[in-house]
Amino acid sequence: MPPHTLSLPSNQFTLHGGCFCKSTLYTITVPPLPSRPLVAADDGAQIRLPRVGSDFCQSCRGVTGALMCFMVKLPQEWLSFSLVRKSENTLKTTNRTESERKRIDLPASAVLQSPSISETSNLVLFSSSPGVSRLFCGKCGINLMFTKSEGEEKGLVDVPLGTLDLEFLEGMGDGGEFEGLRPSARVVMAGPVGWINEEGAWGVRGVGTGEG
When binding is defined by CB under 5 A, the residue of 15, 23, 47, 51 that contacts Zn ion is 23
* Least gap, CB of 47 to Zn ion (angstroms): 31
Contact 193, 67 (CB under 8 A): yes
State the Cα–Cα distance between residues 212 and 205, nearest whole angstrom.
Answer: 7
Largest CA distance in the chain: 54
The reply on whether position 123 binds Zn ion by CB under 5 A is: no
Q: Which residues contact 93 (CB under 8 A, 6 or more apart)?
A: 101
CB of 112 to Zn ion, least distance (A): 18
83 and 123 in contact (C-beta within 8 Å)? yes
Under the binding rule (CB under 5 A), the answer on residue 19 touching Zn ion is yes
Scanning 22-30, 54-62, 95-103, 144-152 for contacts with Zn ion by CB under 5 A, the matching segment is 22-30
Neighbours of 163 (CB within 10 A): 21
Given the rule CB under 5 A, which of 41-49, 101-109, 130-138, 156-164 is the region that contacts Zn ion? 130-138
Which of 91, 58, 76 has its CA nearest to residue 194? 58
Please say whether the dihedral angle defined by the alpha carbons of residues 54, 57, 61 and 62, taken in this order, is positive or negative. Answer: negative
Question: What's the min distance (Å) between Cβ of 84 and Zn ion?
Answer: 9
Binding residue for Zn ion (CB under 5 A) from 6, 21, 104, 201?
21
Q: Is 137 in the site for Zn ion (CB under 5 A)?
A: yes
Asked if 124 touches Zn ion (CB under 5 A), the answer is no
182, 188, 194, 195: CA torsion to nearest 10: 30
**At closest approach, how far in Å is the CB of 122 from Zn ion?**
6
| Given 60, 139, 147, 157, the residue binding Zn ion (CB under 5 A) | 139
Site for Zn ion in 143-202 (CB under 5 A): none
Examine residue 86 and tell whether it contacts Zn ion (CB under 5 A): no
Nearer to Zn ion, 72 or 137 (CB): 137
Query: Which of residues 36 and 134 has its CB atom nearest to Zn ion in the complex?
Result: 134
d(CA 62, CA 73): 20
Q: Which residues sit at the interface with Zn ion, rule CB under 5 A?
A: 19, 21, 23, 137, 139-140
